[in-house]
Structure 1
């Protein structure tokens, strides 16, 4: 039996978003006549004014990962049932009978045929087709099924693939960062990204028992909507680091109802870090609204940040 859970403008129009004083971030969005949209951010950091801006083609923001959807167990079941019926029609075996063993679920199945051997072969063949239909559905909506903890399968957003497919669209942001920091270190760049992303409004997660994509926004949608949850911000930060520092190792760490980023960089004595697969990763949490520096994670999550306990995926 498959047991899975869900781990879930007209030209020159100006839009100003002023956040509470604690966040101290201002965003000016400006629609340009060349079809680009200008994003200009301003905030206070240690008493100093910080400015950061970039342009994105409006068409890119509208088309960015448009096939991304929330996972629907009902739709996944429908695709599996369709695959089963189509394959049964192809087999054209009059003595073949297939029944679902669980009410309302297409898998697992009981197969009756002329011989026990035939039944086993048919069951394996049909199950493979149904599972492939399910996998095709997951792939089409940017989801994946992962093993976390012994014996537990979860369906979740495919953060790794979203990062890979966002690289091209985020090039203008990376180029703006490159111009702002022509000479910098991994720590300095990571800290700047944290200072910026933690101030972008945090969108509280909906229940992840209902949808693995609840609250998640792909990178350009996060920028366009000016909000995001923990894994949305982690993926945006990781994508920009990948563009600017392609040799730096990155992992996403999955904590209870939370996600943080691990960065393969030189650590300092005060850093919270984790050793995974023989490499040390300095931890970073871009979620906000708490302004946590690089190497600092909220105390309530530290219990779960242990090798062999924490679930993670390389990015």
Structure 2
């Protein structure tokens, strides 16, 4: 990592304490009703503070505007798109000027340019390289994917969690307003965060496939997670970030990628025992939206704590 990462951990909160104090979230009921206006959703669960409920309606206009979960990244489909783009460009070149040969070789494309003018060959080769990069970028963007380097330095393609969250936030106002109605102090960020965490942690967990090998299969965009009432850690963290941005567009947050897991870091004033990381001089309090353990802001699971203390994570700013 380019940035100096510092783990801020109170010695009072250790793995044993988390195990003994954490309770497990229990969703009691989930109701979904389709209406002419949209979809009415009703979540009921048992919290440490007793029974809780969250009811809201997603208007049809909001549902249609929310991005859908993309299919798993398929490198062959991406290669087909790039190949077509290069062939279209090749057809614009006069064979008398240069001959272009593009061949598939496994998961890559080999490009050969020949002609009488070395200057022209170099020019065409540079254009082909540029169009290859542009076509790949276009394909990833169209399907909500982005290049990613994990905590071990491996390069891969992952869902564009940031884009999902940002593009979803404007159409989740009804959810945010419903949460605020349940709070004693609607403008208190920590109270909003803890209620939202409590709710998300009760939503049934859908196992995360390996972020590198699965090519994104199993990820649920905020829209699908809410409507289908299930999601993995990446999915829940993305919805949580979208809701935070809808609640406060100016809040500084990061997604924290661990091996086979994801957390959220929130830039706000830390309390005495909050578990946090510091990056570029900014403190980010950690949050576990995944469940099933009911963990408030500033507490994380023992398994997460191990990776955080060993700095086995990468971050993405939202």
**Fold conserved between structures, TM > 0.5:** yes
Q: Does 1:164 align with 2:166?
A: yes
- Assess, with a 3 A threshold, how the Cα gap between structure 1 residues 67 and 256 changes in structure 2: closer, same or farther: closer
1:154 to 156, 171, 174: 156
- Assess, with a 3 A threshold, how the Cα gap between structure 1 residues 274 and 307 changes in structure 2: closer, same or farther: farther
Q: Does 1:138 align with 2:140?
A: yes
CA contact (8 A) 2:87 2:102 kept: no
CA contact (8 A) 1:274 1:307 kept: no
Q: In the alignment, which residue of structure 2 is the partner of 1:9?
A: none
Q: How many residues align?
A: 294
Alpha-carbon deviations, 1:226-269, whole Å to 9, x = none? Answer: 10000110111111111112222100011111111001111122
SS of aligned partner of 1:198: helix
Cα distance in 2 for residues equivalent to 1:293 and 1:160: 23
Q: Does 1:48 align with 2:56?
A: no
The structure with higher relative contact order (CA 8 Å, sep 6+) is 2
Q: Does 1:301 align with 2:304?
A: yes
Cα distance in 2 for residues equivalent to 1:242 and 1:256: 25
**CA RMSD between the two structures:** 2.6
1:189 to 184, 189, 192: 192
Alpha-carbon deviations, 1:123-148, whole Å to 9, x = none? Answer: 21101112211111111111112455
Cα distance in 2 for residues equivalent to 1:236 and 1:47: 23
Q: In the alignment, which residue of structure 2 is the partner of 1:12?
A: none
Cα distance in 2 for residues equivalent to 1:151 and 1:117: 38
Cα distance in 1 for residues equivalent to 2:300 and 2:311: 18
CA contact (8 A) 2:24 2:294 kept: no
Cα distance in 2 for residues equivalent to 1:25 and 1:289: 10
- What are structure 1's unaligned runs of at least 5 residues? 1-20
Q: In the alignment, which residue of structure 2 is the partner of 1:57?
A: 59
Cα distance in 1 for residues equivalent to 2:137 and 2:258: 25
TM-score, normalised with respect to structure 2: 0.83
Q: In the alignment, which residue of structure 2 is the partner of 1:242?
A: 245
SS of aligned partner of 2:29: strand
SS of aligned partner of 1:87: helix
CA contact (8 A) 2:198 2:294 kept: yes
1:262 to 265, 270, 276: 265
Q: In the alignment, which residue of structure 1 is the partner of 2:125?
A: 123
Compute the displacement of 1:99 (Å).
4.8
TM-score, normalised with respect to structure 1: 0.84
Cα distance in 1 for residues equivalent to 2:152 and 2:101: 31
Cα distance in 1 for residues equivalent to 2:54 and 2:306: 36
SS of aligned partner of 1:223: helix
- Assess, with a 3 A threshold, how the Cα gap between structure 1 residues 266 and 24 changes in structure 2: closer, same or farther: same
Cα distance in 2 for residues equivalent to 1:235 and 1:131: 27
Compute the displacement of 1:110 (Å).
4.0
- Assess, with a 3 A threshold, how the Cα gap between structure 1 residues 150 and 213 changes in structure 2: closer, same or farther: closer
Once the two structures are superposed, the pairs formed by residues 64-79 of structure 1 within 5 Å of their partners are: 64-66=66-68, 68-79=70-81
Cα distance in 2 for residues equivalent to 1:245 and 1:272: 22
